[in-house]
Amino acid sequence: MSPTRNAAVLFNEIPNDFPVPGKTTKYDESSTIDLDNVSLGEDGVLVKTVALSIDPYLRSKMRAADIESYQPPYLLGKPLNSLGVGRVVRSQNPKFKAGERVYGLFEHQEYNIFDKDSFLQALPETPLSSATLVGAAGMPGGTAYIGYKEYAQAEKGKTIFISTGAGAVGSVVGQLAKLDGLKVIGSAGSDEKVEYMKSLGFDVAFNYKKTDTLEVLKKEGPIDIYWENVGGATLDAAIETLKKDGIIIVCGQITAYNGGDGYNYKNLWQIFARSIHIHGFLYFDLMPKWIEQFSKEFLPLIEKGIIKHKEEVVHGLDKVGDAILRVQKGENKAKSVVLVADDKDSH
């Protein structure tokens, strides 16, 4: 068979501020791959990319390669990568069969070869779309589930505040809390997102650009649990309205990803005065402990529609740069997914 195009999105330049499509990242169609003859190596698996997850944390990988951080950096001139779902084209690894869907860390190319050290998991047969499998049923939903289960000490009657409550993670946290009988307060940056949170059953939902977070929390709090996603003034307001022995679960700080000079926190000393406990965690560290319960308890909630979710799907690998920027600016209306190939197409 003649070579097939293997387009990619390359990391082109380290951004100082927001990542600019075409500058920070470049879509490139110059590579090809011979799907029938390319060598897979021992245990190699050739996978056609179907859906790529576009998440806030990708910005933290767009840095100089010598700066250490929790995520390996993107390398200049090489493809970006993120979690994704694909379909196996050919496999030398007995754990994966041609035609099956898989979940893994995908380079942003139309085709990838995964070796035995790559992060790649077979997906069970499920009616869920590949977009959902990288969203509510994938890392974002999983992040929500395991962070909440591990740290929230949720109990009926408690109050939780969730920043970015309309996001892929926050929206799931809020719904889990409602199922447990908590009072749920969520913030987001647009009226549309506020409506979405209300449709999910949040007790209080507000647009932080129009309403002062501290005022809302003073009125609707005090809070027992703060699900932290943004940092800055929101974190400071949450600390001010946390109850004694309050809990903060830190799942990200989007205000810190795009440069900036830190934030002038006024309330950090309350951490000891109120006996506050703060827990940072990463999905890949905690998931092994929770994977069985996640599959048994959580995935059925998604399949049955008890936990609701939404994806903002754009089509085409060339849209990755735009999708990343939308997420960094908070303009995406739902979990951002780039669909690279037809979800039903097996080859």
Return residues touching a copy of itself (CB under 8 A): 60, 69-71, 228, 231, 235, 244-245, 250-253, 255-257, 261-282, 285
Beta carbon nearer to a copy of itself, 60 or 130: 60
Q: How far is the CB of 247 from a copy of itself (least distance, A)?
A: 11
Beta carbon nearer to a copy of itself, 49 or 253: 253
Distance CA 332, CA 319 (A): 13
Beta carbon nearer to a copy of itself, 119 or 269: 269
Beta carbon nearer to a copy of itself, 28 or 240: 240
Beta carbon nearer to a copy of itself, 49 or 328: 328
Task: Tokens for 58, please give them.
Answer: 């990708």
Q: Is the peptide bond before 3 cis (omega within 30 degrees of 0)?
A: no
Written as one letter, the residue type at 268 is L
Give the Cβ contact number of residue 29 at 10 Å: 12
Per the listing, tokens 């799942």 go with 251
Give me the count of residues in the chain: 347
What is the greatest pairwise CA distance in the chain?
69
| Burial class of 227 by CB neighbour count within 10 A (0 to 12, 13 to 18, 19+) | buried
Q: How far is the CB of 271 from a copy of itself (least distance, A)?
A: 4
Q: How far is the CB of 229 from a copy of itself (least distance, A)?
A: 9
Sign of CA dihedral 191, 195, 201, 204: positive
Distance CA 200, CA 209 (A): 21
Q: How far is the CB of 289 from a copy of itself (least distance, A)?
A: 13
Give the Cβ contact number of residue 39 at 10 Å: 9
Beta carbon nearer to a copy of itself, 36 or 285: 285
Q: How far is the CB of 19 from a copy of itself (least distance, A)?
A: 17
Q: How far is the CB of 150 from a copy of itself (least distance, A)?
A: 11
Q: Are 28 and 7 in contact (CB under 8 A)?
A: yes
Beta carbon nearer to a copy of itself, 70 or 119: 70
Look at residue 163 and give its three-state secondary structure: coil
Q: How far is the CB of 245 from a copy of itself (least distance, A)?
A: 8
Task: Tokens for 168, please give them.
Answer: 């892929």
Whose CA is closest to 38, among 91, 109, 104? 91
Q: How far is the CB of 163 from a copy of itself (least distance, A)?
A: 13
Beta carbon nearer to a copy of itself, 40 or 271: 271
